[in-house]
């Protein structure tokens, strides 16, 4: 039994020497700046999360991953086991936080009791016509140019030095369930896509992916759900026209099924736009797959050699 059950991913936190430059990229990526606390930059999506991305001044780097717990009681129980303090979260939405350190030194900020933000409006898209059904009749489909509209943070990927040690650490504390384990052979696996255990409530195919990487531990990427496929493609064109660096995409993953589009922020961190991902319940269980399924696509370009 795990100490707690994670409800969702909360946010990713970085540092950068120029917050205005980071803000400009994130706005072009489709996020919205919210009121800063102190000298930090907080960005939100259209969903109810008070923020999904934070940046503090400093040398470029990944600082922490936020994991949302179901209740303050869960947070206090986890903090007691880890012998860390529960503190007020000085950020949009408030709430409480306890900072843990995983086996590779990644800071994991368990959070609870944040106040949700009022969702931002999203236009209802016109129906799609396809060979299966014609649902849009006597009307056009017109897409406005501009950034994609980030709705929420869906998952993060961390490179780790020992997959089994990290898998045990995260499952013991947050109750994650394996969706797909990545096997090299019968005796060795290099990673797994982990989803939250929300019982009968469908949840994303993965909230966290742990990958034992020959490049050593560190941040791999963070993935943000956008409004829909048209929104993702418009966002791709907008970022390309602004001369940002595309890291991989557009394509459709095998594992998780998402349509993906990866970009590098001004300091080299990879952020993903995605849409149309799989959702599963606890009873859907786990699978073991091969590395080719991890790096392969159902359609789209092959994974670049320098990705992640």
Q: Quick one: pLDDT band at residue 186, thresholds 50, 70, 90?
A: confident
* Per-residue model confidence (pLDDT) at position 36: 63
For residue 259, is the peptide bond before it cis, meaning its omega torsion is within 30 degrees of 0? no
Burial letters for 31-51: b for 16+ Cβ neighbours within 10 Å, e otherwise?
A: bbebeeeeebbbbbbbbbbbb
Instruction: Indicate if the pLDDT at residue 308 is higher than 90.
Output: no
> What pLDDT, on the 0 to 100 scale, is given for residue 42?
97
Give the residue, 130 or 35, on which the prediction is more confident.
Answer: 130
CATH assignment of 6-115+150-299, among 3.30.365.10, 3.10.180.10, 3.30.470.20, 3.40.50.2000: 3.10.180.10
Residue 37 has pLDDT above 70, yes or no: no
Could you read off the pLDDT of 245-269 as tens digits, one per residue? 999 999 999 999 999 999 999 999 9
pLDDT grade for 95, boundaries at 50, 70 and 90: very high
Decide if pLDDT at 38 tops 70: no
Q: What is the DSSP string of 45-112?
A: -SSS-S-SEEEEESSSEEEEEEEEES-HHHHHHHHHHHT---EE--STT--EEEEEE-TT--EEEEEE
Cβ neighbours of 198 (radius 10 Å):
19
CA distances from 43 to 22, 49, 168, 256 (A): 10, 10, 31, 26
């Amino acid at each position: 039994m795990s100490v707690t059950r994670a409800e969702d991913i909360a946010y990713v936190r970085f540092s950068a020497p120029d917050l205005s430059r980071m803000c400009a990229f994130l706005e072009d990526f489709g996020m919205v700046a919210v009121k800063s606390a102190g000298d930090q930059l907080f960005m939100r999506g259209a969903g109810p999360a008070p923020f999904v991305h934070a940046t503090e001044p400093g040398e470029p780097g990944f600082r922490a991953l936020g994991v949302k717990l179901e209740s303050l009681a869960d947070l206090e129980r986890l903090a007691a086991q880890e012998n860390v303090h529960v503190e007020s979260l000085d950020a949009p939405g408030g709430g409480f936080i306890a900072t843990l350190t995983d086996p590779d030194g990644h800071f994991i900020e368990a959070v609870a009791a944040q106040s949700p933000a009022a969702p931002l409006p999203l236009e209802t898209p016109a129906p799609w016509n396809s060979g299966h059904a014609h649902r849009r009749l006597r009307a056009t489909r017109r897409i406005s140019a501009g950034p994609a509209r980030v709705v929420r943070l869906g998952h993060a990927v961390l490179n780790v030095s020992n997959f089994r040690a990290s898998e045990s650490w995260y499952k013991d504390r947050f109750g994650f369930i394996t969706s797909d384990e990545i096997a090299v052979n019968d005796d060795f696996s290099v990673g797994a896509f982990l989803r939250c255990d929300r019982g009968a409530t469908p949840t994303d195919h993965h909230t966290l992916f742990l990958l034992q990487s020959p490049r050593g531990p560190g941040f791999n990427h963070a993935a943000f759900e956008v409004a829909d496929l048209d929104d993702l493609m418009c966002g791709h064109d907008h970022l390309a026209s602004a001369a940002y660096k595309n890291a991989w995409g557009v394509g459709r993953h095998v594992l998780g099924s998402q349509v993906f589009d990866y970009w590098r922020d001004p300091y080299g961190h990879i952020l993903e736009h995605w849409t149309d991902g799989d959702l599963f319940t606890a009873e859907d269980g786990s699978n073991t797959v091969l590395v080719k399924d991890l790096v392969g696509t159902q359609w789209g370009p092959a994974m670049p050699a320098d990705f992640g």
